[in-house]
Amino acid sequence: MRFLLGVLVGYSLRGKQKLLIRFLVTLALVVYVVIPALALLGLGIDVQRERRSRPAQTKVPVIKGLSYEDAERKLHAANLNIRLLATRYDSALQPGLIIDQVPAPGEAVAVGYSVGVTISRKDFGGPGP
């Protein structure tokens, strides 16, 4: 770039070789303006195509502490499904409430994704007396 600029300035100060100056200016415009502009345009088109090919996404709502039915309604409203992963005894919680969810609230997932839940149950489920 410096060499090309030096040649342009040198020849333009002397006022000679006007054809060479035009050629060098044209070459500089093509190399430093036109080619990068075309490359950026192609990159922009590729990025748009990539974004359009991705499935639609939605954010996972908070469903911890809700009953299974309420969580199911809330997830269906967000275009998501529910899947029971496990039940677990938790003496601090009322039975039938959601203890945990996967993926976490606020994560972006594909529309129609199944959110896994763990629900509290009322009995310990251990061996009998």
Handedness of CA 27, 29, 32, 38 (dihedral sign): negative
CATH of the domain at 98: 3.30.10.20
**Measured between alpha carbons, how far is 18 from 21 in angstroms, rounded to an integer?**
5
Q: For every one of its 129 residues, what pLDDT tens digit does the chain have, with 9 covering 90 and above?
A: 677 667 767 767 776 667 777 787 788 888 888 999 999 999 999 999 998 888 889 999 999 999 999 999 999 999 999 999 999 887 777 888 999 999 999 999 999 999 999 999 877 655 434
Residue 17 lies in a domain: yes
Spatial separation of the C-alpha atoms in residues 89 and 18, rounded to whole Å: 89
Q: What is the pLDDT of residue 129?
A: 41
Q: Are residues 32 and 9 in the same domain?
A: yes
26 & 63 share domain: no
Q: Return d(Cα 81, Cα 117) in angstroms, integer.
A: 11
pLDDT score of 102:
95
- Domain of residue 31: give its range: 2-53
Confidence (pLDDT) at 127: 46
pLDDT the model gives residue 124: 62
Amino acid at site 52: R
pTM of whole model > 0.75? no
Query: Is residue 43 assigned to a domain?
Result: yes
